[in-house]
Structure formats: C-alpha cells, structure tokens
Amino acid sequence: MTRLLVECTHVFKHPKINSGIQRVVRNVIQQLPPSARGVECLPVVVLKGKLYRVTRLAPLDSPIFNTIVTFGERFERLAHRFWQLHQRLDSRWRSKTLRRLLYVGYRLTSFGLFGIPLRLIEQINRYQLPQRCEPLQHQPGDQLVLLDSSWHSDFFLHAERLKHDGVGIVAVIYDLIPLSHPQFYDTRLVEVYGEWFDWISRNADGYMAISATVRDQVRAELQQRIGTAEVEKRWFDFFHLGSELDLRSADAAVEPRLKQMFTRPEPVFLMVSTIEPRKNHDYLLDAFERAWACGSQARLCIAGRIGWKCDALLARIRNHPELNRRLFMFNDLSDTSLEHAYAHASALVFPSFVEGFGLPLVEAMQRGLPAMGSDIAVFREIGGEFMAYFDLHDPQSLADLVTGFERSAEFPAARNVADWQWIGWREASLQLAERTARNVLEAPTAQARAYAHCP
C-alpha cells in the first residue's frame, strides 16, 4: 500500500515564520487533499528520530504557549544574527590565533546565552505535541515527501532507516541557488545545502520542483553528479505555487506609515522580498535614482525582512536623501499590510538575479497588480507576455520602464494582467499530491529497487 507522507517539520516547530518556503509549506499542508489517485496523503513530522502524523499544524490557541513560541522564534532569530556576526568576523580576521579565540568565544556564548534557553523552550513546547500530532508507523511502499526545508534538519539517518524498510523518498526542490550562486549566501549555509543535495542525490527516488525551470536544472545537475544510468532510475516533475496570503486578518490594522504613504497620488512601485544580495536591491536603487534624476515622481517601497550580507545596502537606504520622501522601507509587514500594499501599488518590481519561482510576482499579478521583472527563464515561465522585463546588466532599462509607465499610464507588457490566470494554494497542493502519486504509481520498480548504500 502506498501513502504520501508529506513532511513539514521545520514549519511545525516554527509556525510563526512567514518567509518564502515556510509560506509554501504551511499553505500546501493546510490544503493537502486526503488522497490523490487513490493514494492517501498525510502531513508528517520527524521529531527526535520518530515519525508523527500532524493533526494540528498551528500551535495551540493558548496565550502562554503563543508567547513562548513567539519568544522562542525571536530568540532563534537573535541567535542566527549572532552566528552571522561570527561568520563576518571570521571571514575578515586573518590571524589563526584570533580566529581560534573567536570560535571559542562564540561556542561558549552560544551555549550559555542561547543554548540553555532554547533547550528550555524546546522542552516547554514538547507539552503541546500530543495535542498537535500522534505517532505514526511507517509501512513499505510509503513515500516520504520532503516538502519542508529539510537541509535544516538532522533526520537523514532516520530517513535512511525508513528507506531501508521500503519507504521511498521524494525531494521537493525549491531552487539550486546555493549550488549555482554560492556568493549570495554565507559559507555555512552553502556547505549545509551542498551536503543535503549530495544526500538526496544518492537517496531520493524522485524530485518534485516548484517550476519547470528548476526541474530541468535538477535533472542536469544530477546528470553531472551521478550519471545518466542512475538519473534514468529516478523521476522528475514540478508543480506551481499558489498566491493567497493566508495570515491576513480583517481585524488586523494596516501599518499606519504604509497606509499614509498610499494617500498621496504619485505612483508607488513595490518590491517584496527578503533583503539579501540575490534580490538585487542595489540595481533597483540605481534604476530609480536614474528615474528621479530625470524628474520622475514615482516612489519606491521596499518591503521585506532583513536577511544577510546586506549591511552596506541597509546603510545606503537609511542614509538615502529620498528616504521617506520617494523611498520607503518596511521590514516587518503583516499579511494584512502586505495585502493593502498589493491593492494600492501601481506595479511590482522584482530585479532578482536568480529565482526558483518568484512568489511575489504571482501574489501581485493574481491581484491585478502588473509586474516588472528580471529577464530570467523562470519569470518568463510564470509571467509570459503579461509581464514587463528589464535587462539586469542595464539599470536604465528599468528606469525607462518606470518613467514610460508613469508618463503614459500604459503598462509596457504585451498582454493585460487582467487576463492572466493562476492557481490557488488548493490547486497547488493538489498538483503536488497528484503528480507525485502518478509518478510513484507509474514507476513502482524505482521504489522497490535495492537500497544501494545499505550494508
């Protein structure tokens, strides 16, 4: 008997995080169909090496527990910032002695300041487990679908034991950017992702990407790593993501400063993403500075949490002469405020160097907000003739789109965004389940083959 065990461990443990992958996992799990092509679909987590069926993804509606969860997430973000600081100092210091002292200091501080409180929070959170999940016994023929960001996890050995017991492994691939563009990430994340991809290269039976572009990239990468003969034993497919902002609330207030910004008549161009080098905010500023120099009154609104390797960019924004005049930045918008921004902006701008999908494009266009994006393959896959594209090597190309749209009120795309259609999260979750089930059912020998790395 085959079941799809759709893994959501990271989101289960960190339910308040709302960035890209976490948003995808939460929505897919919430909309997961009970079955697809006759195959039962179950949300699962792997905790302390044990498999659990999720009965409630969100934490309990308890003020005390919610406070603990929120505090724990903020404390983890603080610990992550501390790790980033250590990484920056370690890369700058050349003396081996100083770097060794830095490492010792980092380990001691991490254990005392962060390690003990985080362990206490974890113990408190464990009291919720019986009310949110229940033990699950795996069966031969089950398929463990790694939907969540499993490179953060430590359950590889457990997954290998499941595979030895006849459980197939399906890897959901969001992108290969840490492999193809490692300069955009911290060294440790690149190493962790590389180790994870090595692992799924050897152990996954199938690969489900979030776009056809990424599917083809995964197949090409595996051709180089394991060769054609091994690649032919695996299957490759993709599904597309939905667009609803599921955490918005009719009772929640819109950020007052954001609301005030939209009361003025000048057009607002919205950029939604984590602030990190890959998203190419510097290009965005270069383009708008050129437009402003030519008399444009357009305003640029940057919305997104602060990420990594962005100190110089943040300094540029915070010291910019147009800040809070024609340049605005919001780092902690709720879904309710983001919905307001999508509803009132003139266009979305997305100058990312490389993406696996580009969720803000879909979120914007699904709401009738036209989008301007980098001329890269995956944006062409999503936007087709309904988007306007600019050259990443020439900021003037975006400046010209902005000033032209501002002057003529005619959006520079071949087709009107009002005619563009996309799927919602229900359809996205169904795509994932049905296409995974189809591939598994059509290739039973792939799941039955001997486990090559088992002693």
CATH code for the domain in which residue 342 is found: 3.40.50.2000
- Residue 77 counted as domain residue: no
Q: What is the pLDDT of residue 184?
A: 92
- Residue 250 counted as domain residue: no
State the SS3 of 386-406.
Answer: HCEEECCCCHHHHHHHHHHHH
pLDDT digits (tens, 9 = 90+) for 209-218: 999 999 999 9
Q: Are residues 398 and 441 in the same domain?
A: no
pLDDT digits (tens, 9 = 90+) for 135-173: 999 999 999 999 998 776 667 888 889 999 999 999 999
Q: Are residues 288 and 339 in the same domain?
A: yes
Dig out the tokens for 114 from the structure: 């962060």
pLDDT digits (tens, 9 = 90+) for 226-255: 999 999 999 999 999 987 765 555 667 899
Q: What is the pLDDT of residue 12?
A: 87
Do residues 397 and 291 make contact, with C-beta atoms less than 8 angstroms apart? no
pLDDT, the chain, mean? 87
Q: Are residues 14 and 163 in the same domain?
A: yes
Side-chain half-sphere exposure of 249, counting CA atoms within 13 A: 7
Q: Are residues 188 and 304 in the same domain?
A: no
CB neighbours of 95 closer than 8 A, spacing ≥ 6? none
- What pTM was computed for the model? 0.79
Q: What is the pLDDT of residue 454?
A: 35
Domain that holds residue 350: 256-419
Check pLDDT > 80 for residue 128.
no
pLDDT digits (tens, 9 = 90+) for 314-371: 999 999 999 999 999 999 888 899 999 999 999 999 999 999 998 899 999 999 999 9
SS3 62: coil
Q: Are residues 280 and 219 in the same domain?
A: no
- Residue 363 counted as domain residue: yes
Q: What is the pLDDT of residue 260?
A: 94
User: What percentage of the chain reaches a pLDDT higher than 70?
Assistant: 82
Q: Are residues 224 and 333 in the same domain?
A: no
Q: Which bin fits 352, alpha (ψ -120 to 50), beta or left (φ > 0)? A: beta
Q: What's the CA gap between 155 and 159, in Å, rounded?
A: 6
Q: Are residues 282 and 361 in the same domain?
A: yes
As for how many domains the chain has, the answer is: 2
Check pLDDT > 80 for residue 90.
no
- Provide mean pLDDT across the span 367-393: 96
Q: What is the pLDDT of residue 449?
A: 41
Q: Are residues 234 and 304 in the same domain?
A: no
- Provide mean pLDDT across the span 376-394: 96
Q: Which residues of 360-396 are buried (b: 16+ CB within 10 A; e: fewer)?
A: bbbbbbbeebbbbbbebbbbebbbeebbbbbebeebe
pLDDT digits (tens, 9 = 90+) for 255-292: 999 999 999 999 999 999 999 999 999 999 999 999 99
